[in-house]
């Protein structure tokens, strides 16, 4: 992190309304819901979203989603609907 930058807490950064820098307001952009919603979506898809720091102190965000093992599973094609 650059000097003076706030380091996010990877254990809390997916909490609703969490801000690494408490001095930032919603006027500066965002309300602190994006990562929380992202984790909820990952969980709903039976996946996982988490964060940690590498050996150099850089934040890493990981997303793991299950893949289908059925290579034959394909969506049925849908004919285009007529536009009235």
Q: pLDDT per residue over 6-36, tens digit each?
A: 677 878 888 888 776 666 666 666 677 888 9
Half-sphere exposure in the Cβ direction for 32 (13 Å, CA): 17
Q: Is residue 84 in a domain?
A: no
Collapse the DSSP code of 73 into the 3-class scheme (helix H, G, I; strand E, B; otherwise coil) and give the result: coil
**Number of domains comprising the chain:** 1
Cα 30 to chain centroid distance, Å, stands at 14
Q: Is residue 81 in a domain?
A: no
Q: Is residue 55 in a domain?
A: yes
- Tokens at residue 36, please? 């929380």
Q: Is residue 74 in a domain?
A: no
CB 42 within 8 A of CB 63: yes
CATH assignment at residue 6: 3.30.565.10
- The C-alpha torsion from 46 through 60 and 37 to 44, rounded to 10°, is 0
Q: Is residue 18 in a domain?
A: yes
Q: Which domain holds residue 22?
A: 1-65
CB 50 within 8 A of CB 60: no
pTM listed for this prediction:
0.61
Task: Express each pLDDT in 32-77 by its tens digit.
Answer: 788 899 999 999 999 999 999 899 988 899 999 998 766 655 666 6
pLDDT of residue 1 exceeding 50: no
Q: Is residue 73 in a domain?
A: no
């Amino acid at each position: 992190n650059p000097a003076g930058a706030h380091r996010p807490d990877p254990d809390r950064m997916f909490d609703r309304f969490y801000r690494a820098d408490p001095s930032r307001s919603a006027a500066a952009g965002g309300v602190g819901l994006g990562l929380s919603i992202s984790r909820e979506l990952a969980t709903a898809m039976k996946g996982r979203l988490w964060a940690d720091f590498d050996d150099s102190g850089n934040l890493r965000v990981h997303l793991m989603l299950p893949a289908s093992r059925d290579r034959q599973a394909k969506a049925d094609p849908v004919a285009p609907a007529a536009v009235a």
